[in-house]
Amino acid sequence: MSLALRRHQGPSKFQPAADGSMTLIDHIRELRNRLFWASLGLVLGIIVGFLVSGWVFHLLEQPYCKLDSSWTLGKVNQGTCDFLQLGVGDGLMLKLKIALWVGIIIGAPVWLYQLWAFIAPGLYAREKRWGHIFLATAIPLFLLGNLLAYLSLGRSMHYLLDLTPHGVQNLIQVDLYMSFVMTMLLAFGIALELPLLIVMLNLAGILTHERFRKWRRVLIFVVFLIAGIANPSPDPITMLILGGACVALVEVAELIIWRHDRRQARLHPDPYAGLADDELSPLDLDDTGSRDSHLN
């Protein structure tokens, strides 16, 4: 009975979007529905983030509170590790800011799926495969960048706060500190997406391994340059950590595109390989000769 009912059901919304039978109004309605579900997932993530904002703040304050200079008596766990709050409503704004960031991360599977479901019907099968690779790799790399940034915060804070002149007490505004931490997380997360971009350009046929090898040294220099610009902390230690992680992932990306180019060369050999620039390619006269004999 269930099989019979399922057989009489109409096509899914994905099928008419893929075969081009949807009208402009249908596309607008589809976009509206996708935006609704994506917004719902984001709102639910923000609610969860608001409920756990205290725990998240306690987690993010650890790199600062692990420093002796952050405590009133100059030793960890002696005295208090306090931040400075100037505005009456800064506490609420801080909780909302943390809730927004947590909501974006928690709701990422929902709004990324809705975005993919709206775009995927207009793509070819090969492009859909690239999209699956991108979605399956982008989120883990972004989270890996967040973890690396969190582990680097202690060194960064230690370097920056040690530059404070003698006799000057550090009173860090809590909203500025959280903005600094979240900028670090975002910068590291986006920077680690660079190797994925290199692989995607290779899969699209834009960047070959031969071209990559020619510009390899320049690319490594650009990686460290981007790491220095994207890093909100001016200390060199954090820049080296971010740049070193990016270079390591770029080396992995080079291995991937090398294997991909070798596989493509084996499956689709170049008919002009081995010819010099001023050398004529041989002509295949078999088809011409057979056609002339058939006409005669």
Residue 11 pLDDT exceeds 60: no
The pTM score is 0.68
Structure token pair of residue 95 = 């909780």
Residue of 263, 138, 247, 246 whose CA lies nearest to 208: 263
Structure token pair of residue 199 = 């692989």
Name every residue whose Cβ is closer than 8 Å to that of residue 185 and which is 6 or more positions away in sequence. Answer: 145, 146, 149, 150
Q: Residue 4: which pLDDT band, with cuts at 50, 70 and 90?
A: very low
How much is the average pLDDT of 223-247?
75
> Based on C-alpha coordinates, what's the Rg of the chain?
28
Q: Residue 168: which pLDDT band, with cuts at 50, 70 and 90?
A: confident
Asked whether the beta carbons of 233 and 160 are under 8 A apart, the reply is: yes
SS3 173: strand
The torsion angles phi and psi of 84, rounded to 5 degrees, stand at -105, 130
Burial grade of 92 (CB within 10 A; 0-12, 13-18, 19 or more): exposed
The torsion angles phi and psi of 54, rounded to 5 degrees, stand at -65, -45
Distance CA 30, CA 76 (A): 55
Distance CA 56, CA 46 (A): 13
Residue 275 pLDDT exceeds 70: no
Q: What is the pLDDT, as a whole number, of residue 9? A: 47
For 92-134, give the secondary structure using H, E and C.
Answer: HHHHHHHHHHHHHHHCHHHHHHHHHHHHHHHCCHHHHHHHHHH
Amino acid 191 reads A
How much is the average pLDDT of 187-216?
81
Q: Residue 22: which pLDDT band, with cuts at 50, 70 and 90?
A: low
Residue of 248, 237, 142, 150 whose CA lies nearest to 192: 142
Q: What is the pLDDT, as a whole number, of residue 7? A: 45
SS3 32: helix
Looking at per-residue pLDDT, the higher value among 224 and 121 belongs to: 224
Looking at per-residue pLDDT, the higher value among 72 and 283 belongs to: 72
Render pLDDT for 44-78 as a digit per residue (tens, 0 to 9): 999 998 999 889 988 888 888 887 767 766 566 66
Measured over the CA atoms of residue 3, residue 110, residue 204 and residue 121, the dihedral's sign is: positive
Structure token pair of residue 151 = 């582990």
Residue of 164, 185, 187, 174 whose CA lies nearest to 61: 174
Q: What is the pLDDT, as a whole number, of residue 278? A: 58
Q: Residue 282: which pLDDT band, with cuts at 50, 70 and 90?
A: low
How much is the average pLDDT of 160-169?
75
State CA 109 to chain mean position distance: 13
Q: What is the pLDDT, as a whole number, of residue 8? A: 44
Alpha-carbon distance values, 239 to 148, 161, 231, 264 (Å): 12, 17, 6, 37
**Residue position matching structure tokens 């984001």:** 42
Element (H, E) at 84: none
**Residue position matching structure tokens 């290779």:** 202
Residue ranges covered by each domain of the chain: 23-122, 124-268
